[in-house]
Amino acid sequence: MTTLAPRRGRHGRDGSHALAAALVSAVLVCGSGVIAAAPVTHTVVIEGVKYTPETLTVKGGETVVWVNKDPFPHTVTAKGAFDSHDIAAGKSWKYTARKAGEYAYICTLHPNMKGTLKVE
């Protein structure tokens, strides 16, 4: 009787250790990018006729959202790579980076607005 109770207790603790170890390895696998399970989203704010941050580095498969906080439209245009077309005031536009490279983009409505998306 008295020997059973401690053994049950030990089994319970072993179970939690195994679960904790499984959770830790799952996080490590995700962190190393082996499994692209958890979607990663980056945000670029468009405000004051500029992109913030101006240069953003992401990994392939990650998503970037440009949020236009100005009271007029902007675009996010990298010739030959991606083009948001007009993003109305208060709206946003999403792009999932698939191909590694460095993409300089502008706003076609305000060509002095410049940004760079680096995809690793």
Q: Is 107 in the site for Cu ion (CB under 5 A)?
A: yes
Backbone angles phi, psi at 86, to 5 degrees: -65, 125
How far is Cα of residue 117 from the mean position of the Cα atoms in its chain?
13
Determine the 3-state secondary structure of 17 from DSSP.
helix
Q: Is 74 in the site for Cu ion (CB under 5 A)?
A: yes
Which range in 7-15, 16-24, 72-80, 87-95 contacts Cu ion by CB under 5 A? 72-80
Residue closest to 65 by CA, chosen among 85, 45, 89:
45
**From candidates 110, 114, 116, 118, binder to Cu ion by CB under 5 A:** 110
Supply the minimum distance, in Å, between the C-beta of residue 20 and Cu ion.
49
User: Which residues sit at the interface with Cu ion, rule CB under 5 A?
Assistant: 74, 107, 109-110
